[in-house]
Structures are given as structure tokens and as C-alpha cells.
Chain A
């Protein structure tokens, strides 16, 4: 049993490094100037990607065997699965359109997501009664696949924007593109900071009132923002510089706020260093790398991803979800935040399709929409779990 689950973690590590290798091969295709449709570097890159994907599938099924249920039941498992589906969606798109730059952006995003996932508690968790249903697998896997395919349109959109936005002057568009890059830097900073502190087993315990009860809470990063009215219990831990605002009341609210502060400043530092190094906007530095991409095809890839992903998403995140909810909670729809955000995603991509179809929103406009759609998907994946329900659950 224990062997299986450690085998499973090793496979996930392996997959991570294989994806990383594949990214380098995709990077190698940039310099390739041959006019041929397929290049050696590209062939190697996609092969390595597929090996990585199979390895991650290995992780998935060994963990399934170890746990006795499909590993899609907590944030770590779900987010990892989402990363895997992103790679899968990329592979499918690659075979339709044979575009190497797609891999150059898609794989790093998948890597970031998988690394991000492993910041959550990784142990195998038991299934509470409401999760004990085949619909758990069916719903969650289809929903994640749909979201992943939709995310490919973000990948395409990002390529389109980096390639097409006029970098000779400062505009709103260059600003927002830098903002997207900054968000990526922040995610990276979060991963670096939290794995560093956890490598050193950093802990600082506080006692603070939660719902009037003195409660102990443990920070795993130095507390820049301590809990409201909190008292530091651990000796020689850093004393907080500020207090979290009073309305952050949940047990974890202040801890999450603190993590956010760390990530934000970490992101600023990373991004700032990049700017210093490059001496120009990051988008403008990336632009020449993507010169080979044909904007028209990239635009179509983005649209195609939405066209393929939208039905899958609807089926998984709304229809299967309703069937399951009807069985488990006696109502197919209950307006809880997670459900509402799935509906918002649905509305958003419906708007995308209508705007494109009848108002001619193609190219840049549609690329920006794809960025917005990805923001909504990420929001539903992370923020709804971590912030909205986190603030509201006083457990």
C-alpha cells in the first residue's frame, strides 16, 4: 500500500521533469528556420511531452489503486489532474494544428499548475459520504477536461497578444499584458517561497480569537500580517509587522492573507528583476521569440479550443454536476458559490462565442476574452475554495 503511494509520487515528480525537458525542446524549435511543417526538435518535443503525459497517467492510476478511489477529491489531486488535462488538451491541439510555440507556452503553464498543486496537503484523504459516488469521477474529470481545453484558448490568446501587441509605445494593452506576466511571476514566487519555508519546517503559532474562542493557528511562513488580536506563541519567530484586518475572521483567513502578501511581494521582486535584466517590458522581450507564429492560425486555435471545450465543460461542470447533486443533496442546483462560478464560466464563454460569431470579435479582442476566461477558471478553481468558502467557514 505504502509502496504504491510512494511510487505514485515518484511518477508525478518524473512527469514534472519530463514536461520541463519537453519545454526545452519546444524552445529549441524557435531557432529552427526550416520551412518544413514538422521539425526534428518539434517531433522530439511532442514525443517527450507524450511520455510525460503517460508518466503522469501512471501517477494517477497508482494513486487511485493506493487510495481506493480516483484521485480527484481534494485540491492537490484536482489541481494536478487539471494540469494533466491541460497537457492532454495541448497534445490534441498539437495534432490538429502542429504548432510548436503552443507547447512553449502551454507546458510552462501546466508545470506551474502542477507545482502549485503540490503546495496543498498531499496526503490521501478519505471520502466523506457525499463524495462516494461514481459521479464524483465522471463529473470532476469531465469538468477538468473542459476547463483544460478552454485554457488552451488562453495559451493561444497569450501567444497572439505577445506576438501582436505593438510594443513600440506604452498602451493599455501593453500594461495588461505585463499584468498577466506579473500574475505568472506571483504564482512562481508563491511556489518558491512556500517550498523554501516548508523545506526549513518553518512554523509560528499564534493564539487569536475566532468566534470569540481563543484558537491556536500555525503559520508556515513568517507572519508579516498576524491574526487580528493575536498573540505569538512560538519563540524566536518573527513578530508580525501588521495585523490582519478585523473582518478576516476564519481560522485560516489571516494565514491566507499573509501568504498573499508574501506572494505579491515575491512576484514584484521576480518581475522587477526580470525588468532590470531585460531593460524593457517582458512582453516586448518575448515578442521576437514568437515571430514565427502565424497570428491567423493562432487565433483559430484559440477559437477551436473554445468550440471543443465549451460542450465538454457544459457536460461536465453543469450537467453531470446537476445529476450528481440531485443524487447526493436532493437538489440539482443550489446556488452555492462553486456552482454559481461554473455558471459564470458558462455564461462567459457563451458571450465569447456570440461576440465572435456575430460581432466579429476576432484576433486581439477574442484573445483578451480568452485571458478573461482563464482568469474565471482559475478563480473558480482556487479562489472560490480558498477565499470565498474560506472566509465563510468558521469551522
Chain B
């Protein structure tokens, strides 16, 4: 290391621009802060020795210098910003209608532009590798840029002495000389203290400083950002994060996905409430909307914990652990899991009751039977020796090329083929029954199976989350906020006063809000005999 010894006796590290102690410009290093031709000193990081400005030999130096440059950092931020904006032109893949094929959807919906968008991968921008790379590079840049500046700046501010070199003072932006022997130093010091400056003295020279901590604000907020980014990366660690979904019918008890069979849920009741159309407050808005506006979705649920060992096939022994309501904005919480009211389906069929009577006479009856749609029996015994055998069951019936089929296994539109055995008959009558459909299989049936009643129930859709990354994310966010507030709502201000044979010199520096600093200097120098310093750099435009 080529250390630099200043005339004040202080030894500075290589690359120092202004002596850490007295501020005297180090002759050979002025170009590093661009001070050569300027009237004023560039006070960037107090002229401390930054690695990025000092070394540029090895690959490591070059990488370091690349990432520590704010120009590079801002460029990365701007690229990310523009890419993000492009990512909102058309909806991301996760927001296109479920079940549609992205490869054709974008082209069909948005034409050529949509196709290009899709081909370039913008439909999945925010999970794409290059977006991740951009964020990662911003992260690296933040770390390196901060280290490059924080350490030398910290050392310099700790080492600074009240007594400053003349050149340093003269080349400050705020600088003034007073030629008078009538300067009231005591009053000046008192004023400074009243304005909450910390005052230090050395051979009559004064350094008044306040809010140095605000200089650390950017580094604190950058640490917050890094913790936040790392927290988001933890998402990719499997054990940290569970995201599952279940449908639960009313009355049904189901194992909760993602809990390794440990927890069960029973849907006791699902409630959907709409706003009252006659509520005079909201009448107009509801009319404009054209359809009812929902007020609450809610699942009343009971959560169980399995107490026996998980054995495949065996019925679990369940212990109730809580009864709770899941509403939008009010999830159910238990043992680090959170259940959110995410979706619902209303009026799914639960059971259907049929009656058997003569073909032509609806007043006759040979008895009723009820089919449980989630678990239908294969045979139903009626009065007087009549039997009905369930031949086929179509939960969501549909005719496909003349053949009855089921679109899904959910009883949304149930239909049945029944074989009816009258007493002492071995040949059944085949009957097809569904909602609003009743077909005589042979055309010669004597009996008819008629739907007389049904029960419906609601199905609730819940997401299950367990997320151990949240504390990191929250911590990152909190540290970030502390850092920005620390850096933005306070300013680091310094005022130097140096006695001269024929009066005093005064100089001032702040990291932001110069007008406010000037006003403050005017107040502290009032009646002390020190004349107001000038701003040597008025804005040109």
C-alpha cells in the first residue's frame, strides 16, 4: 500500500482525495473526484479512498468497479423498469382465462403484437430467467456499491478533525470570510448548540456537526433491500413454502393438502351474502353494476388434528382443534398454516329423491328413494317388493354424439340410468332420469321414476399457505423503511469555523438541501459578528 502522509501528520490510505484529518487535497489524486479544473471541491464521500477509484488492475477490480458504479446501478434499474412496463401491456400468463393455451391465446386475442409478445417470453416476464438476473445484478450492485463507499466514508468521518486546511475551507460551496476582531465566539457556539449541532474545538477552530447518522441511511436501506431479495429467494427452498388448494363440500370432512395428512377440515356451512338491493345508500351503484354485489363469502369450518399414526387406508382418529370462520381478509390460522377463502361454487347437488309410480298415473306410488350423490348405493329397496338398481351415474351429464357422458366427477348436472324391477319380475324396465329429463328406455315401460326432491350444498375453495419466508421479507421491508427515513428526513450538516489573524473563516457542507443549510447558518451567525457566507455555486440551470 502506498500510504500518503499529509503535512498535518495524518497518514492516509492509497487513493485518498482529501486528507481524512485536515481535508487538504492530496495533490496527485484530485482527478479521482474530478477536482482538477473546478473551483469547488467535490465532496463526494469526503474525498475518502474508495477501492473502486483506486485499483483497476485485476479482473476482480474490474468486476468490483463495474458493480460499484452508480451509472451501472441506475442503468440496471431503468432496464428493469422498462421491462416491467412492457410486461403490463398484455396480461401475464397467470391472468389469462384458465384452460386457454398461451401459444394461441395471445395471437388470437391480440394479433401479431400478441404473438411477438408471446414469442419474446413477455407473457411470463416476471418469472423469466433474465428478469431474475436483472434483479440479482441490482442486488450485487447494491452490495458492492455500498461497501465501496460506506467503509472509507465511515473511517473518514471518524477521523476528521475540527481544524481544516485553508484550501479545504476555501473550496467549499458555502464559504465566507469575516474581517473583524469583534467576533463573539461564545455566542456562536451557543447558537450552534441551540440548533443541536455537536461542537468540537481544536486550537480555536470549530467543527459543528449534526445528524451524521443520516449519512448511514442509504446503507441501512440497501441492507433492507438485500434481506428482502434474499427472503424472496427462499421461496425456492421447498420446506419454506407451501401453496395448496382444496375444495370442501358442506358437511364433508377432508384432509388438508400440504399438511402431510396431519390436519383435516370439515366445512360446516358456506355463506354467501349479497348487498341488499334496496339499501338506499348503495342502490344506484348496485343498479349500475347490473348484478348483485357480494357482501361476504364465508366458510364456517372445524379443523381437526389426526391423533393416530398415518396409515394408508385406515380411518383417521381426529381430534377437534378449533372452530373458525374463513372470510376474505380474515383467514383461518393454525400451526403456521393459513387457510384463505379463495373460491366457491354454489348449489352443487347433494342428494336427489325419486318416486316410483305408474306411467300414466302420477297419484300412484310405490315408494321413494334418495340417492346420495357423493356416494350412491347400487340398489334401493322400495315398498311392495319393488327394487331399483342403479345402472349408471353421470355426475355432470351431457349428450355427446347421442351417447350420455359425464363431463366431470362433480354432481353439477346429475343423471342416472335406473333398472326398475317390479315384484317377481326378472327383466327390468330401463329408465333414464335427470333434471328435467325422464326417458323411457324401451318405450314400453309401465313405471316411471320421477324426481321429487333434491338437496343442494355449497362448495368452498380454500388456499392453504405456509410461508416461513414472510419474517425475512417483513424484516427486509422494515429495515428498508428505517433506512430511507433515516437518510431522507435528516441531513448531515457541518459547519467549520477557523480563526484568522484578522477575523474568521466559515465554511459549510451538507449532503442535501443547501438552501435550508444557508438559512440555518444565517440564524446561528446572527449577532455574532460573523458575516453570512456566500454560496459559491449558484445554480446555472
| Chain A positions near chain B (C-beta within 8 angstroms) | 1-2, 5, 66-68, 97, 121, 123-126, 128-130, 132-133, 164, 247, 295-297, 299-300, 303-304, 307-308, 310-311, 314-315, 318-319, 322, 326-330, 332, 334-337, 340-341, 343-344, 347-348, 350-351, 354-355, 357-359, 362-364, 384, 388, 392
Contacts and interface: CB of A to CB of B under 8 A. Distances in A.
Contacts of B535: 296
A121 to B, nearest CB: 6
Given A129-B329, A319-B481, A326-B470, A124 B285 contact: yes
B281 interface: yes
27 contacts: A1-B280, A2-B280, A5-B281, A124-B282, A129-B294, A129-B295, A129-B328, A130-B328, A247-B110, A295-B539, A297-B515, A299-B539, A300-B513, A300-B514, A303-B512, A311-B485, A315-B481, A330-B338, A330-B342, A334-B94, A341-B88, A354-B70, A359-B71, A363-B541, A388-B89, A392-B90, A392-B95
B515 A344 contact: no
Nearest to A131: B329
Most B CB contacts (10 A, CB to CB) among A132, A334, A347 go to A347
B281 A296 contact: no
A332 B228 CA distance: 13
A126 to B, nearest CB: 4
A388 B86 CA distance: 12
Nearest to A245: B111
Given A332-B473, A363-B541, A392-B91, A123 B481 contact: no
A344 B85 CA distance: 7
A268 B153 CA distance: 54
B282 A126 contact: yes
Interface stretch (B72-80, B179-187, B251-259, B387-395): B72-80
B275 interface: yes
Contacts of A297: 515
Contacts of B286: 126
Contacts of A329: 340
B481 A126 contact: no
Contacts of B297: 129
Interface string B441-483: 0000000000000000000000101000010010001001100
Given A126-B282, A311-B489, A328 B539 contact: no
B285 A296 contact: no
Most B CB contacts (10 A, CB to CB) among A67, A303, A354 go to A354
Interface string B286-318: 101000011111000000000000000000000
Contacts of A126: 275, 279, 281-282, 285-286, 293, 295
A336 B538 CA distance: 45
Contact of A310 (B294, B330, B470, B488): B488
A12 to B, nearest CB: 17
B516 interface: yes
**Chain A interface secondary structure, helix, strand, loop or mixed?**
helix
B331 interface: yes
Contacts of A296: 514-515, 535, 538-539
B488 A307 contact: yes
Interface in B329-349: 329-331, 338, 340, 342
B77 A351 contact: yes
B278 to A, nearest CB: 12
A362 B470 CA distance: 39
Given A121-B288, A307-B488, A351-B74, A130 B84 contact: no
Nearest to A337: B88
A295 B541 contact: yes
B541 A164 contact: yes
A394 B249 CA distance: 30
Contacts of A1: 280-281
A307 B71 contact: no
B407 interface: no
B178 interface: no
Nearest to A393: B91
A363 B538 CA distance: 11
Given A126-B293, A311-B484, A311-B485, A344 B84 contact: yes
B30 interface: no
B74 A355 contact: yes
B81 interface: yes
A7 to B, nearest CB: 14
Contacts of A363: 539-541
B372 interface: no
B166 interface: no
B329 A132 contact: yes
A247 B115 CA distance: 14
A97 B515 CA distance: 9
A132 B88 contact: no
Contacts of B529: none
Nearest to B465: A330
Nearest to B125: A335
A392 B463 CA distance: 25
B211 interface: no
B329 A327 contact: yes
B73 A304 contact: no
Nearest to A4: B281
Contacts of A335: 87, 92, 94, 126
A354 B146 CA distance: 13
A86 to B, nearest CB: 20
Contact of A328 (B81, B88, B90, B328): B328
Contacts of B88: 337, 340-341, 384, 388
B488 A311 contact: yes
A96 to B, nearest CB: 8
B26 to A, nearest CB: 21
Interface in B92-128: 92, 94-95, 110-111, 126
Given A123-B284, A330-B463, 6 more contacts: A311-B481, A319-B477, A334-B94, A341-B88, A354-B73, A392-B91
A335 B330 CA distance: 22
A50 B340 CA distance: 44
Contacts of A358: 44, 70
B513 A303 contact: yes
B294 to A, nearest CB: 6
B161 interface: no
Contact of B294 (A128, A326, A362): A128
A172 B131 CA distance: 33
Contacts of B171: none
B347 to A, nearest CB: 19
Given A314-B480, A319-B477, A340-B87, A300 B516 contact: yes
Contact of B489 (A295, A308, A337, A388): A308
Nearest to A358: B70
Interface in B523-537: 535
A355 B470 CA distance: 32
A299 B540 CA distance: 11
B285 A125 contact: yes
Q: Which 9 residue pairs across A and B have the least CB separation, nearest first?
A: A129-B328, A125-B285, A123-B284, A330-B340, A358-B70, A337-B88, A347-B81, A126-B282, A311-B484
Given A335-B92, A344-B84, A314 B44 contact: no
A322 B329 contact: no
A372 B281 CA distance: 40
B357 interface: no
A143 to B, nearest CB: 14
A133 B331 CA distance: 12
Contacts of B294: 128-129
Nearest to A125: B285
B492 interface: no
Contacts of B284: 123-124
